[in-house]
Amino acid sequence: MAASRYFEQISGVMNIEAPPTIAAQSLRKSMVEFSRISSQRANNGILPTPIADAFLISVELRGLPASNAWLDGRHHIKSESREGHFTLVNFNVETAVELNFPFDSMQMYFPRAALNAIAVEQGTHAVSALAVDFVSAVNDVVVRNLCHSLLPAFDHPEQANRLFMDHVAMALLTHLVQVYGGSGTAPQMVRGGLAPWQVRRAKELLVARLDGEIMLEELARECGLSRSHFARAFKKTTGKPPHRWLVEQRLERAREMLLKSGLSLGEIADTCGFADQSHFTRAFSASLGVTPSEWRRQRQS
């Protein structure tokens, strides 16, 4: 079952507006997707889950009380979940949970194939299950912070470029494999960074796609590396992950155009790969502490 179909299904069951969903990365033809789903109602009924070879992580953006739950037809009391804690749903087990309270959560749906693709890259065995009990919420700072980093993408989905989403999805899946997948292995260490030719090729591809609509897998393939190996080696070489390095290239190109061209801010935003002028202005101001128009005026005066 595709993730988007799952999120559409639960919104239909609870009679709430279909949540915004953002695709992250394709792993062995398996799509990882994120969604933010919420309801202000006090009675959302009993939510069943379909059977599929997949998992869902739900990071709570507000605390939840204890509730009734059923796993393969057996009743359980699901413990309260504090804000920032996460619950794991294993779709291989018939699961239902009573949601008689308002909720707001960031959710990540991923097939087992996505986990196993990461496990192969890490040089460990396939993941048969994740060692997380559905009835108990987990306080994991890595999962919490990675999911929270995606919140702005749901306010401005047009700015959620593929490279950034790939980076977050890979980091989350890698963490789950290492901590809950039973591998007992640390990630393979990168003794050195990228070779000079790999740096050149990666940067060429990134600069050619300033909008960030390039998959991490494509960059890694062009350098003859796995995704996880490439991401670590790129950061070791440049001091920044690929998506952050790309943002700085956008801003550098924009500064040059502000000084040397008469193009409008909207035209510069489009040329430099920003979603729109407001996106450009926010990124520029966050980096330099001044708006693009003010920066241009200061240097032309």
Q: Which strands form 67-71's sheet, in the order they lie side by side?
A: 46-48, 95-98, 67-71, 74-78
- Quick one: average pLDDT of 227-246? 88
pLDDT at 194: 87
pLDDT at 8: 66
CA–CA separation, 247 vs 270, rounded Å? Answer: 14
Q: Which residue has the higher pLDDT, 199 or 6?
A: 199
* Fold of the domain built from segment(s) 3-180: Jelly Rolls (2.60.120)
Domain parsing of the chain, residue ranges: 3-180, 196-239, 244-300
For the cut 60, the answer to whether the pLDDT of residue 4 exceeds it is: no
pLDDT above 90: percentage of residues in the chain? 32
pLDDT at 28: 44
pLDDT tens digits along 157-192: 777 788 888 888 888 998 999 889 875 544 444 457
CA–CA separation, 213 vs 168, rounded Å? Answer: 15
| 222: nearest Cα among 248, 203, 244 | 203
Q: pLDDT-based confidence at 33, cuts 50/70/90? A: confident
pLDDT at 20: 57
Q: Which residue has the higher pLDDT, 97 or 185?
A: 97
pLDDT tens digits along 130-149: 889 899 999 999 999 999 98
Q: pLDDT-based confidence at 84, cuts 50/70/90? A: very high
- How much is the pTM? 0.74
Question: CATH 2.40.30.20: does it fit domain 244-300?
Answer: no
Q: Are 69 and 96 in contact (CB under 8 A)?
A: yes
Average pLDDT, the chain: 84
CA distances from 122 to 11, 221, 295 (A): 36, 16, 45
Length of the chain: 301
pLDDT at 283: 87
Q: pLDDT-based confidence at 64, cuts 50/70/90? A: very high
